[in-house]
Amino acid sequence: MARSVSTIPSAPLLAARDVIELLKPITWFPPMWAFMCGVVSSGVSIDGRWAFLIAGIVLTGPLVCGNSQAINDWFDRHVDAINQPDRPIPSGRIAGNWGLRIAVVGSLLSLAVAWLIGPWVFAATILGVACAWAYSAPPFRFKTSGWLGPAVVALTYEGLTWFTGASVMAGTLPSGQILAVLLLYSIGAFGIMTLNDFKAVTGDRATGLRSLPVTLGIGYAARLACLVMAAAQLVVIALLWRWGMTYSCAAVTAVLLAQCALMPRLLSDPVRNAPWYAALGVTLYVLGMLAAALGLGGYLG
């Protein structure tokens, strides 16, 4: 009797752990960072808007990003049953169609929270949720394309979440300067997303997934990723200089030069060095995002 009683409380905890694993909290950081950049770039004081700020953080991280992970795992469950059978859905820890139910409920909850925050946030969330489904689900399944897949993820992870942060604070459509910078960093993030594909080149070739390292070749894809990341930041630097944001311009220039210093090692062996560059080069990239956001915030505030 004592044994059966002791096992009762563990079942709900196990289910909660499995759902959290499905939502992959480690993936929430990039969009939450971009959201923070949006908040800073708005130039609006946080005083009196703490509720909106917290709601926006929850929306971009656990809700929209977490839900996109659930959508992806549901539609990849057959592939994961072969490659990663220990994941919650293929392992049976989230059984039946509960993975799909979580994805649907997460989408509806994301839209509901966005509606409460404001119309521009709601519009951005509609696009973000639609991209999450189109990325993983047929008939679109953008993830099978080396061009559309990284572009969709870059737009949603960087651009839409930056837009959301600025809209949450200002309550209106962000300024033209903010829109230009967030779009450029979204374009640059296409290169980051391409680098993520190097870890799965062998599997992509075997399953027919047309990632850029597969279609262009490893060397060409790596050079394209570096070119896109650098070119987008060069345009950001030019705009910051034109707008008189000298300190932000200097900071973004410094982090770009540091990235360029790391790129030769990446290009020497992209498959082996992509994780190393993701740890160092991408960190520099997102620090540049924050520097640009601080400049915009000071200019517009």
26-40, 51-65, 177-191, 201-215: the lowest-pLDDT one: 201-215
CA 132 to chain CA centroid, Å, is 11
In the prediction, which pLDDT does 207 show?
66
Find the mean pLDDT for residues 224-245: 97
Report which residue type is found at 78. H
Same structural domain, 60 and 160: yes
Same structural domain, 163 and 197: no
Find the mean pLDDT for residues 31-36: 96
Residue 144 structural domain: 13-172
Residue 167 has pLDDT above 90, yes or no: yes
Q: Are 188 and 285 in contact (CB under 8 A)?
A: yes
Give the count of domains, the chain.
Answer: 2
Strands (E), the chain: none
Residue 5 lies in a domain: no
68: CB partners within 8 A, 6+ apart = 132, 135, 136, 156
Last residue of a domain, one of 138, 154, 172: 172
Same structural domain, 103 and 162: yes
Cα–Cα distance for residue pair 210/197, rounded to 1 Å: 10
Residue 202 has pLDDT above 80, yes or no: no
In the prediction, which pLDDT does 156 show?
94
In the prediction, which pLDDT does 9 show?
42
Count Cβ atoms below 10 Å from residue 221 Cβ, excluding itself. Answer: 23
The mean predicted confidence, pLDDT, of the chain is 91
Tell me: the pLDDT tens digits for 87-117? Answer: 999 999 998 899 999 999 999 999 999 999 9
Same structural domain, 199 and 65: no
DSSP state for residue 173 in the 8-state scheme = P
- pLDDT interval class at 301 (50, 70, 90): low
Find the mean pLDDT for residues 1-20: 58
Same structural domain, 123 and 189: no
Strand partners, 210: 145
Q: Are 271 and 223 in contact (CB under 8 A)?
A: no
In the prediction, which pLDDT does 82 show?
80
Same structural domain, 91 and 217: no
- pLDDT interval class at 8 (50, 70, 90): very low
Residue 13 has pLDDT above 80, yes or no: no
Same structural domain, 183 and 295: yes
In the prediction, which pLDDT does 6 show?
40
Last residue of a domain, one of 123, 151, 172: 172
Find the mean pLDDT for residues 215-234: 95
In the prediction, which pLDDT does 34 show?
97
Strand partners, 145: 210
In the prediction, which pLDDT does 18 show?
93
Same structural domain, 111 and 204: no
Q: What CATH number has the domain bearing residue 54?
A: 1.10.357.140
Same structural domain, 168 and 20: yes
Question: How far apart, in Å, are the Cα atoms of 116 and each of 39, 109, 123, 221?
Answer: 18, 11, 12, 42
Same structural domain, 112 and 193: no
Bond from prior residue into 30 cis (ω within 30 degrees of 0) = no
Same structural domain, 166 and 271: no
pTM: 0.90
Percent of the chain whose pLDDT exceeds 70: 94
Name the token pair of 159: 């651009």
Give the up-direction half-sphere exposure of residue 68: CA atoms within 13 A in the CB hemisphere.
27
Last residue of a domain, one of 157, 172, 187: 172
Percent of the chain whose pLDDT exceeds 90: 80
Residue 6 lies in a domain: no
- H-helix or E-strand spanning residue 261: helix 246-268
